[in-house]
Structure 1
Amino acid sequence: MSLNHQSDVISDARLVSQDSRASATPMMEQYIEIKAANPGSLLFYRMGDFYELFFQDALEASRALGITLTRRGQHLGQDIPMCGVPIHAADDYLQKLIGLGYRVSVCEQIEDPAEAKKRGAKSVVRRDVVRLVTPGTITEDKLLSPSDANYLMALARIRAGDEPSLALAWIDISTGVFRVAETTETRLLADILRIDPRELILADSLFEDPALRPSIDPLGRVAVPQPAVLFDSAAAADRLARYFGVATMDGFGTYSRAELAAAAAAVAYVEKTQLAERPALSVPEREEGAATLFIDPATRANLEIVRTLSGERAGSLLKAIDRTVTGGGARLLAERLMSPLTDPEAIRARFDSVSILLDAPRLITDLRAALRQVPDMPRALSRLALGRGGPRDLGAILAGMSAAYAVGETLAGVELPQELDAARAALGKLPLDLGQRLSAMLADDLPLLKRDGNFLRDGADAELDEMRALRDQSRRVIAGLQLDYCEETGVKSLKIKHNNMLGYFIEVAAPQAGPLTEGPEAKARFIHRQTMANAMRFTTTALSELETKIANAADRALSIELTAFDVLSSAVIAQSEAIKAAAAALAVIDVSTALAVLAEEQAYCRPAVDRSLQFRIVGGRHPVVEQALKKNSGPAFVANDCDLSGTPKSRDGESPGAIWLLTGPNMGGKSTFLRQNALIAILAQMGSFVPATEAHIGVVDRLFSRVGASDDLARGRSTFMVEMVETAAILNQATERSLVILDEIGRGTATFDGLSIAWASVEHLHEVNRCRGLFATHFHELTVLSEKLGRLSNVTMRVKEWDGEVIFLHEVGPGAADRSYGIQVAKLAGLPPSVVARARDVLEKLEDADRKNPASQLIDDLPLFQVALRREEARKSEPSKVEAALKALNPDDLTPREALDALYALKRQLG
């Protein structure tokens, strides 16, 4: 949400002046007071079966939601704008508002209307905000994506000494995940995008700090400034200790001051938005920055790791590799893909899990059958802890525990590697008695809301069974009583009905009411209640007594069920750590089986990953493009090798990795080749098998990819400026262990400027960064660098020309291209034949012209200048030298030999 937008939303706070209150109705005065206490959000004000919005909030909501704007009375002489949404559909409207970046304060009635009436006829029902709904603090299934985490992130800065320290803390209150990590100004945006929070809170001073603007501005409405008091590092440890109910945080690990400040701010914001409720958060888990592969923001976007440049999941790497069957597994897969590891041992542990499952196809089948029954236990647990849960959340816990038991039994007796063995152990710690208790108590068909009742099974509670019997059998009793009254009065159309105002009553048509009103006995027995236009309504002592019994039975049955719900919820929450551990274990098993299915389905290989500087890919393929070709029945993907390995220089080490200078035609597959090698590195270090015949990868610490570019007009940057900024970041940060992918550096400016920049960049990568790299270019002049740079090799995309047409082979081989075949690509794109033909003519002359100034020699042949020259020649009378020589010749006087010599002389004059 932008600052301008926030100021619009909170502008109603001006209404809380004394004069304003004096002119308001009691209800509107209450609204204004509550709105003033909750600035910066839209106020959903409960009125009956609707949430109403007034003043500026109504204007905002009507535009955002496309709902009708009405009015309700006047205030300070002006109509009060109003719009509303029905309670039963509130989640749908909340989803849209949250997606647009709004925050919503939900204001409920906290008093029975009957109690308000006791204070006077004009008394207003007490209301108050029970929850602040923000993008980072939602828990409802309808508002959450099953496969995406929903992180709230806090950024804190501590000034200690010359260098201020920065830290991030992120929480998913829907699952209880809580992590912290230190960061720096240079990697701040990359770390934020790696976590991909839905909401980032930071102190006002940080939000306005010019040094942090480059990292905050790209986040847009995700970044929300908060009062600095939330980030007070002096009180941070105590705040966290109080939240987790411990005397000190020392027992949970060692955290820096900045990490404590960020974690405490995140907790404070959760408390602020959830009010009296407390989500079941895990203890903050500290992450080391060096433990994950650093991927800068431009690279993350260019490689389309979790979403494409257009923001879609389809077409991304994540979509291509996702074979998970549970929500938790999908979220864990995305987390691993966003944060690949740099520790070879940890990576190999993940490979071991995939390998053992690949060798046991029957085990995979059994596991996935059980995993498909796993609901989202962490999110159900969170809703129960926050008091927003329903019977189906208890059912989700039961179903998840049952599936966990089944998975544990499937893995029993199987020899497993470390990761899967730890997961199996976590499943074994689930309390059996809790599962048995839930199974014995919960009905098979559960309602959405606990107030609807009927979620406890028959036999779960003896008193409940008794009340249900009285409640349910009352229908037969009422029917029997109605039959008795019909026979007694002789009125066959007599009905016993029920409504919320009168309860049970006897209704007869007005003309037939005589037997119930005539005579003292009838009047004494049938007590008149209401006269309608066409009917009369009565009651009897027997009917009133029966109504009391029925009403009490239904209320008592619901009361028993609600009490049981609270007891079961408390029992579940008491086992929250075991349940969350089991859910995490199921996610690990799901990801491992999914990656095994992927490897089998797509013929991926297990890569060798170590601490060397190797990067050797045999038969590498692009995971997304390959699957797209298969899906569309296109040609088979052409696999290519890539070897950027450092050569051994001694027993103790090896030289830095190589750089490949890639030339070749447009449409030849250069960008695909570049991207596929970067994606293979990411897949390998996240713990997945890779699309190749063979792969050996020395761990990459930083991955940089600049493939394609667009302008950034909002920040005053042209396409070329964006290209240069991204290139500068690479040249300033890449290390010997980094992998750098660069495509067409310098093409956005003048030819010689661009060539010079590309030339210097290649030298810098080779001599200073000393990294492994792929450098694609159309500046064929760069290929001469391989003669002086020992680790630079020339490779090219191969093509074949046939009958004047070019065939792109999509193969990479040694050597350098001598042309780019741009005109052939232009022809394929549909340029008019005349333009293509003219382009060929110009290209031939450019290639033949003096390279010092080809344009000057071409000027006579370009159509625009030809016209000007012809006009100039028309003004001039003297003939050219060639014309003069021709005019002086008399062919009849020349011998054949002399004629031939004259022709050669004319040819020389023409140059």
Structure 2
Amino acid sequence: MRQYNEIKSRNPDTVLLYRMGDFYEMFNEDAKIASKVLGLTLTSRNHGGADNTPLAGFPFHALERYANRLVKAGYKIAICEQTEDPKLAKGIVKRDIVEVITAGTATDDSFIEEKANNFIVSLHCENDKVGIAVCDLSTGLFQVEEVLSSEVEKEIVRIDPSEILLADVQNHPLHTLLSENFRSVVISRFDGWKFSYDNACDAIQSHFNIVSIQGLGFEGFGAGVCAAGALLLYLKEQKKNDLQHITSISPFNYSEFAELDPSTIRNLELLKPMQSEDIGGTLISTLDKTSTAMGARLLKRWITHPLKNIDAITNRLNCVEYFKKDAFCRAESELLLKRVADIERLISRISFERANARDLIALKNSFSIFPKIIKALSGAPVQPIKELLGALEGFDELQLKIESTIVENPPLSIREGGMIKSGVSKELDEIIDLSRNGKQWIAKLQETEREKTGISSLKVGFNKVFGYYIEVSKANIDSVPDYFIRKQTLVNGERFITPELKEMEAKVLGADERLSDLEYQIFVNLRREIASECVRIQKAAEAIATLDVFISLGKIAAEYQYCRPILTESGDLVIRDGRHPVVERMNTVEQFIPNDTELIKNESQILLITGPNMAGKSTYLRQNALIAIMAQIGSFVPASFAQIGIVDKFFTRVGASDRLARGQSTFLVEMIEVANILNNATDNSLILLDEVGRGTSTFDGISIAWAVAEYLHETSGKRGRTLFATHYHELAEMALMYPRFRNLHVKVREWNDQIIFLRKIESGSCDHSYGIQVARLAGVPRKVIVRAREILTNLENMELTPDHKPVLARKHSAESENKDQTDLFSGVQLNVMDSLHSEIIHQLQNLDIDGLTPLDALNILSELKKKASHTA
């Protein structure tokens, strides 16, 4: 156990998978973890100590399956292999860690999602800035950015990493934020000194073989450089690899993209539905018609990073329009792309020296598709498409090299031969001939010896322990010639060798071993040659992914009659016949009702939408935000016309279920999100407010909702385009007071004491909430519905008690007969009139009589008279 303990001491935070022959063994606490997570039998063994050591293990060929489960359970695993041939070892076989696998450093297909990037993020704080380095080891993507500390949560949500790396220091400033908001993400620690600027610069310069980082565009990115350098060092330490497939590092300027805060990504269900882990019912599931995993990953990044530059958006729209209009070219290109492998991850495996011969054949087959794609799109009049096709040229020689070296259907293992074509190596061909001739001689030996000995049941066989042998049954032992040398005694016979057989065995087995070694070396040289073309292959992969996304968006636009949006800097948002892209696809029961929207910067900045629950207010709000996001990623949109003034920030205030588990009340969560909007919105933001103020009392709720709307209307620099859905009909009065405030309502038809939701948005406010009708539709018992109507009638008629309080309910006759039964509602009264009295008195006390004009005095008197009439 000395060797194990020494290796374990160097990797104490990992589950150590210790190779022993044909098994991986785990000991002590690692064994207990493995038993619990993997369901392995926990045993024990005495290794010379006083106590038994807990032990668990599994066969070496099951490594991928068990390692995957450990990583997905949140553990780091260290794979310890035998680093010398046991046959040549003197004493204990040498072993060492060959790789550490974590959630963010996994690269094998079994560990990671095909259609999602597997990001690891490194964070470093400097004053009020945080450097963020982002890497996907499976593709080689490496980016760096800097944000304000207040923006960190938003950026991490947008990146959606599997692992976050922090400096191993006490009281890390981001510890609380990460532990509370990213509980499902693995948090790893790394030596704090490796985050220093000088060490980070050295790491970056060494990796990219440059003398200065200044040429990388990192001016002013001090914290970002620290995060990036530390991440490079961490990845190399974990993977025991020089990471040559990370060929570039680029500053990521988040100011080029519209901001999406965590609430917006969640509430708009861009990537994940709010009520399920399945991606169905999301924007990504609606737009993803990609043919490659590379395209699917790129589309996801586009959705979470809407552009703000109109020229860049226009370039994307031009490409999408081409594929929307040319159905034949779209269909042909789509079929070709389906034949392209995930070359982005293939070249990563090749650079990691993990690729096998089948991977190289997949790459070769993909190269063979490139000329066909170029031919199919040669007539495209769009410049960005022409530039993408240029990245697919020049792979003929590499394709031919693979094709002339590797057999078309190679074995999975690269250590057992059978993968290199004849004619590649003269030495290899000679060894193959020797092996083939020797095996033919051995195959004929059985027939020859049967004839010579007269033993018709004599057999020539082979096993890995004894090599080749001649087997004779016991009944024929007396016929065995003298030149047979006994090798093994069996129950039913004997096994022999001959000098000639032993000599040929040495030739054949020696040839087989030399053949495997030589084939492996030829393969490794070819793999390294391909790895040297990593940059070109990565650019080709990026081009394929981009074409794939354009084709996917073009297909969606054609199939569902999307229109091309007009992007402007005007700040207006005008949509005709807008539809919710997800709801219209999922609802197969009824036809989706389209609606118009006009958010005009200087005319209708705030739209207040009233109407009952289930009428479609929330759907209307969300569809407008989704249409704007789709437009800014370069997609056509579900409408007959759309003019989108560029949105710089998207905000939504809907729901609170995600934070209730953290001990925060519904209303507190609501106010936190409202505060975020009010503090960070700009004149170019798009704001969705759904039922602000509903988590508190009616008067408080109305007051807060009114003040929020007023603030967004009146505060310079905060006048973002706002869609405000509410049940507070009192807010409709704001349209009389504020020039850029407009009322809308969801049209409802009443028929036979029932309501029919027409889903149509019209001008004006709704003066009924239809709450009781909605409760009835939801299945609330009839007795409750009838009682609610009685209470509502009393409130609407303003029936008062002798002390001027509204009566909610009287006792039923049946209840009055039972003197001991207390009526549920008898003590429930609203203090509405008390509030009115207090308000009148308060207003009178605060009047500045000396400063009032006669007209002001008359207006106030009239207002007080109206209020007093309600208390009479």
TM-score, normalized by the shorter chain, greater than 0.5: yes
* Residues 33/826 of structure 1: CA separation in 2 closer, same or farther (3 Å cut): same
* Residues 634/547 of structure 1: CA separation in 2 closer, same or farther (3 Å cut): same
What amino acid sits opposite 2:290 in the alignment?
Answer: T
Q: 2:52 is paired with a residue of what secondary structure?
A: strand
Q: Distance in 1 between matches of 2:81 and 2:664?
A: 48
Matching of residue 646 in structure 1 with residue 604 in structure 2: no
Instruction: Write out the 4+ residue segments of structure 1 that deviate beyond 4 Å after TM superposition.
Output: 472-475, 850-856, 862-874
Q: Distance in 2 between matches of 1:689 and 1:860?
A: 56
Q: 1:452 is paired with a residue of what secondary structure?
A: coil
Q: Distance in 2 between matches of 1:536 and 1:855?
A: 114
What amino acid sits opposite 1:640 in the alignment?
Answer: N
Counterpart in the other structure of 1:832: 781
Q: 2:271 is paired with a residue of what secondary structure?
A: coil
Q: 1:857 is paired with a residue of what secondary structure?
A: coil
Matching of residue 326 in structure 1 with residue 292 in structure 2: yes
The partner residue of 1:358 within 324, 327, 332 is 324
Counterpart in the other structure of 1:588: 546
* Residues 873/145 of structure 1: CA separation in 2 closer, same or farther (3 Å cut): closer
2:298–2:546 Cα contact (<8 Å) kept: yes
Q: Distance in 2 between matches of 1:446 and 1:340?
A: 44
Q: Distance in 2 between matches of 1:277 and 1:862?
A: 83
The unaligned stretches of length 5 or more in structure 2 are 824-871
Q: Distance in 2 between matches of 1:854 and 1:617?
A: 53
| Within-5 A mapping of 1:302-701 | 302-309=267-274, 310-412=276-378, 414-428=379-393, 430-472=394-436, 474-516=438-480, 522-523=481-482, 525-629=483-587, 633-647=588-602, 658-701=605-648
The partner residue of 2:217 within 250, 253, 266 is 253
1:615–1:696 Cα contact (<8 Å) kept: yes
Counterpart in the other structure of 1:171: 135
* Residues 840/114 of structure 1: CA separation in 2 closer, same or farther (3 Å cut): same
The partner residue of 1:103 within 46, 57, 76 is 76
Which whole-Å deviations, capped at 9, do the CAs of 1:775-799 have from their partners, x for residues lacking one? 1011111111111111111101111
* Residues 197/512 of structure 1: CA separation in 2 closer, same or farther (3 Å cut): same
Which whole-Å deviations, capped at 9, do the CAs of 1:426-456 have from their partners, x for residues lacking one? 112x342111111221211122221132222
Q: 1:114 is paired with a residue of what secondary structure?
A: coil
Q: Distance in 2 between matches of 1:872 and 1:487?
A: 112
Q: Distance in 1 between matches of 2:204 and 2:816?
A: 81
Which whole-Å deviations, capped at 9, do the CAs of 1:194-222 have from their partners, x for residues lacking one? 111111101134x8345662355311243
* Residues 542/79 of structure 1: CA separation in 2 closer, same or farther (3 Å cut): same
* Residues 434/873 of structure 1: CA separation in 2 closer, same or farther (3 Å cut): closer
1:711–1:720 Cα contact (<8 Å) kept: no
What amino acid sits opposite 2:560 in the alignment?
Answer: Q
The partner residue of 2:684 within 734, 737, 754 is 737
Which whole-Å deviations, capped at 9, do the CAs of 1:606-656 have from their partners, x for residues lacking one? 100121101011111111111112xxx311111111111224xxxxxxx7x
What amino acid sits opposite 1:81 in the alignment?
Answer: P
1:252–1:283 Cα contact (<8 Å) kept: no
The partner residue of 1:722 within 643, 652, 669 is 669
Moved more, 390-399 or 786-795: 390-399
The unaligned stretches of length 5 or more in structure 1 are 1-27, 517-521, 648-654, 875-910
| Within-5 A mapping of 1:230-309 | 230-255=194-219, 256-309=221-274
Counterpart in the other structure of 1:182: 146
Counterpart in the other structure of 2:860: none
2:122–2:165 Cα contact (<8 Å) kept: yes
Q: 1:493 is paired with a residue of what secondary structure?
A: coil
The partner residue of 2:181 within 218, 228, 237 is 218
Counterpart in the other structure of 2:193: 229
CA deviation after TM superposition for structure 1 residue 714, in Å: 4.9
Q: 1:861 is paired with a residue of what secondary structure?
A: coil
CA deviation after TM superposition for structure 1 residue 253, in Å: 2.5
Which whole-Å deviations, capped at 9, do the CAs of 1:648-693 have from their partners, x for residues lacking one? xxxxxxx7x6111011011101111111111111111111111111
CA deviation after TM superposition for structure 1 residue 872, in Å: 9.7
Q: Distance in 1 between matches of 2:146 and 2:343?
A: 30
1:173–1:279 Cα contact (<8 Å) kept: no
What amino acid sits opposite 1:258 in the alignment?
Answer: A
Identity of aligned residues (%): 38
CA deviation after TM superposition for structure 1 residue 865, in Å: 12
Q: Distance in 1 between matches of 2:440 and 2:773?
A: 86
Which whole-Å deviations, capped at 9, do the CAs of 1:812-856 have from their partners, x for residues lacking one? 111111122222222222222222222222222222226999995
* Residues 840/558 of structure 1: CA separation in 2 closer, same or farther (3 Å cut): same
1:711–1:717 Cα contact (<8 Å) kept: no
* Residues 860/566 of structure 1: CA separation in 2 closer, same or farther (3 Å cut): closer
Counterpart in the other structure of 1:777: 726
2:573–2:643 Cα contact (<8 Å) kept: yes
Counterpart in the other structure of 2:125: 157
Q: Quote the RMSD (CA, aligned, Å).
A: 2.3
Moved more, 315-324 or 164-173: 164-173
Which whole-Å deviations, capped at 9, do the CAs of 1:863-904 have from their partners, x for residues lacking one? 799669945999xxxxxxxxxxxxxxxxxxxxxxxxxxxxxx
1:131–1:273 Cα contact (<8 Å) kept: yes
Q: Distance in 1 between matches of 2:12 and 2:54?
A: 18
Q: Distance in 2 between matches of 1:93 and 1:853?
A: 77
Counterpart in the other structure of 2:12: 39
CA deviation after TM superposition for structure 1 residue 313, in Å: 1.2
2:190–2:234 Cα contact (<8 Å) kept: no
CA deviation after TM superposition for structure 1 residue 457, in Å: 2.8
Q: Distance in 1 between matches of 2:341 and 2:189?
A: 36
What amino acid sits opposite 2:810 in the alignment?
Answer: D
Which whole-Å deviations, capped at 9, do the CAs of 1:293-327 have from their partners, x for residues lacking one? 10111111111101112332111110111010011
Q: 2:149 is paired with a residue of what secondary structure?
A: coil
Q: 2:81 is paired with a residue of what secondary structure?
A: strand
